[in-house]
Amino acid sequence: MPTWRLVTECGTIPVREGRRVICGKEEVALFNLGADAYLAVENRCPHRQGPLADGIVAGTSVYCPLHSWRINLETGCAISGGEGCVKRYPVKIADGKIYLAFDD
């Protein structure tokens, strides 16, 4: 059973941007896609562990800032640049706050 953890409030991440979130041992890239749509993935590109939270958001994907691999934020898998996937984290919004689910 996953544990939901409060990570930030809505509005702290600008639309079409990502932010790094640390929860225990997990480093997560949390993205604001607009219209109260947030997606979260592991903050390490499968290629060379580039910080995905610093990448450029395009639709429901992000371009790694190191070598421009494009990662689909809905599936966690690379869609250009090479092959590989990152872990995804469920996101929920409640009372203007953003929660992520973690397996404990």
* Domains of the chain, each with CATH number or no CATH: 3-102 (2.102.10.10)
Give 28's contacts (C-beta < 8 A, 6+ positions apart).
7, 20, 21, 22, 40, 41, 42, 43, 89, 100
- What pLDDT is stored for residue 1 in this prediction? 83
Phi, psi of 52 (to 5 degrees): -60, -30
- What pLDDT is stored for residue 90 in this prediction? 97
18 DSSP 8-state letter:
E
- What pLDDT is stored for residue 89 in this prediction? 97
- What pLDDT is stored for residue 35 in this prediction? 86
Tens digit of pLDDT at every position of the chain (104 positions): 889 999 999 999 999 999 999 988 899 999 999 988 999 999 999 999 999 999 999 999 999 999 999 999 999 999 998 999 999 999 999 999 999 999 86
